[in-house]
A and B are shown apart, each in its own frame.
Chain A
Amino acid sequence: MGNVKYDGKYYGVPMTMNIVGMFCNMELLAKAGYNEVPATYDELIDCCDKLVAQGIIPFGCSGKETWCVTEYLESIIEKTAGATALNQIFAGTASWNNPDVAKAVGIFQEMIEKKYFDPEGIALTNDEVKANFMAGKYAFYMNGTWNCADFDKAGLTSKVKVAEFPVIDSSKSQLGELIGGPSDTLAVAAGSKNAKVAAESAFELAKGICHYGYLDGCGLPAWTPDYDTSSVNALTQSVADICANASQYVLFGDTAMAADTAQIYLDYVSKIYSSTISGQEFVDGLTKDIK
């Protein structure tokens, strides 16, 4: 709720929440000898190597929509530098000039160099990449958990599992540190004619949207459910289980930052995905350009 909290007071009510999930095609993972989602980073790398050796593309990521790249990059930074460090960077209370960030970006680029990512992804939209994953082209797809409903409707629940990205540096991060959180909120302008009534309405409206959004599998409950949730699809329920063990959330970088800063950040992320700059140049550039 940090993104709606200012000076100790809350200024918005969440309608829904989502996290970044690592969706795994278990049929493809089985071909690499994995019947479960790789639990550690070393296992993930081993799994990717085996997938590549068999001609299977491990990850699909749209380069045309840079926010999709952040789903990967932020997860890797978080699991390398830790959620607290990333939250401070996004909030502007810590500098981008952090060696762990440079190291994480290097890890991401190494994954690209090792052909873990579909090279065509850079020219594709997220919808195209998602369609490829659903068609069985990629073993993994990291994206928002709002996709659960689509995967469920496409009948993929039996072969797709969702997990969080494994920890890379256990001295700084741990499982349960997630990218996401309640980002969509309703707020009422202080100058509204009937601010109190409007705020109460916004409160009820947000709860209602959250309620039905969760039941439809389009998001996670930002409010504690006090209703029957047995009809929620299995993938969304898996995500709810992950969230139940969450220790810390880091809001999506381009949502947490101001609009102008977010675009500068996305520009650098795009350069990372196309390997135009190195991890250190990413850190140096953001330190210079984001004041």
Chain B
Amino acid sequence: MGFPERTAFFKGNGYMKKLYSNKLTTFLFLLPALILFIGILVAPIFMSGYYSLFDWKGYGPKTFIGLDNYKELFTSENIGFMKAFGNACLLAVLSVLLQLPLALFLALLLGSGRKGERGFLSIYFMPVLISTVVIGQLWLKIYNPSYGVLNVALRALGLDNLTRLWLGDEKTALWAAFVPTLWQYVGYHMLLLYAGIKSVPPEYREAAMIDGANESQVNRFIVLPYIKPILRISTIFAVTGSFKSFDLIYVLTNGGPNHSTEVPSTLMISMLFLRNRYGMGSAIAFVLILLCFAAALIINFIFKEREGKPKCKTETE
């Protein structure tokens, strides 16, 4: 019922109407936010694109080399970008196939009004609140080959042959680094989805129940279609978050051993601050931005395609 009231307000308040119709005033009000947006988000993207065209150490003279950094980025084994990108893609796939379904399962479970709902919500969300460095240190201790709880538990169970140098072996390091990365944000996606589930009008559920639907049918035909926009946002966050993943990998392995856990962001830091290749680091940053934009657009497109064939009518329909 908001729209008629607002119309009435405008009718009775000529000053505000005049203010809103004045384009200059609108522009001036938006200007501070626009400056921040351009200065903090847009300008750095273009600056990264600009620096990526140079051979530059981050200080001293720059040499214009066109797209050579990009050519080297995608072809050089020495830099290993394709390996890092492959790792990020694998993390994105795992996020969508493991992290989101788990988050959805927990959200549906808690959203159906179980006993201790609030308490469980806080517990599952807790890893999101803890500093990533602290979580990294925690998992470093879990994976420690000598006293780490994982190897100790395996030895206690008589499974000595399964003990590993989890973060030191190229065969296991990537998976070992991904587990805490996926685990940390399950609670985040769960909370987003939980909020969506809680916004489903109770009368929809009740109507379905009266029609004889059981809980899983209600979830499938009422709740899931209703929270599809939130699922879309969660998927975008999970995929772009995987492409941008940095902090936990940096703390756990710093991209090692032998670059087996390298992701684009750790590679970018290495190029910028260890190898003094500011141009190459900027090229990685620029590619990363493009990848995130592309992923968001593709996910939006996929969800819109599916939204064209709704399985239930929503409030707006």
Interface-located stretch among A20-28, A103-111, A262-270: A262-270
Q: Is the CB of B168 within 8 A of A63?
A: yes
- Interface residues as binary, A249-281 with B (CB distance below 8 Å gives 1, 0 otherwise): 000000000111001100100110010100000
A-B contacts counted at CB < 8 A amount to 55
State which residues 125-163 of A face B: CB under 8 Å: none
Out of B167, B256, B276, B277, name the residue touching A270 (CB < 8 Å). B256
User: Which residues of A lie under 8 Å from residue B257 when comparing CB positions?
Assistant: 63-64, 122-123, 270, 274
Q: Is the CB of A123 within 8 A of B145?
A: yes
A60 to chain B, nearest CB (A): 12
B140 to chain A, nearest CB (A): 9
Q: Is the CB of B258 within 8 A of A276?
A: yes
- Interface residues as binary, B65-102 with A (CB distance below 8 Å gives 1, 0 otherwise): 00000000000001000000000000000000000000
User: Which residues of A lie under 8 Å from residue B253 when comparing CB positions?
Assistant: 64
Q: Is the CB of A260 within 8 A of B254?
A: no
User: Which residues of B lie under 8 Å from residue A63 when comparing CB positions?
Assistant: 168, 256-257
User: Which residues of B lie under 8 Å from residue A263 when comparing CB positions?
Assistant: 270, 274-275
CB of B199 within 8 A of chain A? no
CB of A36 within 8 A of chain B? no
CB of A228 within 8 A of chain B? no
Cα-based distance from A3 to B181 in the complex (angstroms): 42
CB of A119 within 8 A of chain B? yes
Q: Is the CB of B275 within 8 A of A123?
A: no
**What residue of chain B has the Cβ atom nearest to residue A137's Cβ?**
B146
Given contacts A63-B257, A119-B165, contact A259 B78 (CB under 8 A): no
A74 to chain B, nearest CB (A): 19
B185 to chain A, nearest CB (A): 25
User: Which residues of A lie under 8 Å from residue B170 when comparing CB positions?
Assistant: 274, 276
CB of B166 within 8 A of chain A? yes
CB of B232 within 8 A of chain A? no
A99 to chain B, nearest CB (A): 24
CB of A284 within 8 A of chain B? no
User: Which residues of B lie under 8 Å from residue A267 when comparing CB positions?
Assistant: 78, 258-259
A117 to chain B, nearest CB (A): 12
Cα-based distance from A263 to B145 in the complex (angstroms): 27
Interface size on A, residues (CB 8 A): 19
Q: Is the CB of A122 within 8 A of B275?
A: no
User: Which residues of A lie under 8 Å from residue B256 when comparing CB positions?
Assistant: 63-64, 66, 270
Q: Is the CB of B78 within 8 A of A289?
A: yes
User: Which residues of A lie under 8 Å from residue B276 when comparing CB positions?
Assistant: 258-260
CB of A200 within 8 A of chain B? no
Interface size on B, residues (CB 8 A): 23
B172 to chain A, nearest CB (A): 10
B6 to chain A, nearest CB (A): 60
State which residues 17-72 of A face B: CB under 8 Å: 63-64, 66
CB of A120 within 8 A of chain B? yes
User: Which residues of A lie under 8 Å from residue B270 when comparing CB positions?
Assistant: 263
User: Which residues of A lie under 8 Å from residue B259 when comparing CB positions?
Assistant: 267
State which residues 202-222 of B face A: CB under 8 Å: none
Q: Is the CB of A120 within 8 A of B258?
A: no
Cα-based distance from A66 to B257 in the complex (angstroms): 10
User: Which residues of B lie under 8 Å from residue A122 when comparing CB positions?
Assistant: 165, 168-169, 257
State which residues 8-50 of B face A: CB under 8 Å: none
Given contacts A120-B145, A120-B146, A263-B274, contact A64 B258 (CB under 8 A): no
Q: Is the CB of A274 within 8 A of B258?
A: yes
Cα-based distance from A66 to B143 in the complex (angstroms): 20
Cα-based distance from A66 to B259 in the complex (angstroms): 12
Q: Is the CB of B277 within 8 A of A123?
A: no
Q: Is the CB of A123 within 8 A of B167?
A: yes
Q: Is the CB of A64 within 8 A of B168?
A: yes
Cα-based distance from A124 to B169 in the complex (angstroms): 11
Q: Is the CB of A264 within 8 A of B78?
A: yes
User: Which residues of A lie under 8 Å from residue B254 when comparing CB positions?
Assistant: 64
User: Which residues of A lie under 8 Å from residue B275 when comparing CB positions?
Assistant: 259-260, 263
Cα-based distance from A274 to B168 in the complex (angstroms): 9
Cα-based distance from A276 to B169 in the complex (angstroms): 11
Cα-based distance from A110 to B137 in the complex (angstroms): 33
Q: Is the CB of A260 within 8 A of B277?
A: yes
> What are 25 A-B contacts with C-beta separation under 8 Å?
A63-B168, A64-B254, A64-B257, A66-B256, A120-B146, A122-B165, A122-B168, A122-B257, A123-B143, A123-B165, A123-B167, A123-B168, A123-B169, A123-B257, A124-B145, A124-B168, A258-B276, A263-B270, A263-B275, A267-B259, A270-B256, A271-B258, A276-B170, A276-B258, A289-B78
Q: 12 new A-B pairs (CB below 8 Å) besides A123-B169, A267-B259?
A: A63-B257, A64-B253, A64-B254, A120-B146, A123-B165, A259-B57, A259-B274, A263-B275, A271-B258, A274-B170, A276-B258, A289-B78
List A residues at the B interface (Cβ < 8 Å): 63-64, 66, 119-120, 122-124, 258-260, 263-264, 267, 270-271, 274, 276, 289
